Amino acid sequence: MQYCPKCRTLLEGDTCPDCKGKTRVPEAGDPCLAVRMSGVFSEMYEDILRQEGIPCLAEGELGAGISSIIGTRLEVTDFFVPFARLEEAETLARELFGEDKQEGTSGTAEDGPAEDATDA
Ligand SMILES: [Zn+2]
> Which H, E and C letters describe 38-53, residue by residue?
EHHHHHHHHHHHHHHC
d(CA 80, CA 62): 16
**How far apart are the CA of 6 and the centre of ligand 1, in A?**
5
Is residue 28 within 8 Å of 84, Cβ to Cβ? yes
The C-alpha angle with vertex 18 and arms to 16 and 19, in degrees rounded to 5, equals 75
> Would residue 64 be called left, alpha or beta, if left means φ above 0 and alpha means ψ between -120 and 50 degrees?
alpha
For residue 28, the CA-to-ligand 1 centroid distance in Å is 18
pLDDT in tens, the chain (120 residues): 999 999 999 999 999 999 999 999 999 999 999 999 887 888 899 999 999 999 999 988 665 555 555 555 567 889 999 999 999 999 999 998 775 544 444 444 455 555 565 565
pTM of the model: 0.69
What is the reported pLDDT for 38? 82
**Which residues are within 5 Å of ligand 1 (an ion), measured at CB?**
4, 6-7, 16, 18-19, 21
Q: How far is the CA of 81 from the centre of ligand 1 (A)?
A: 17
One-letter amino acid at 55 equals P
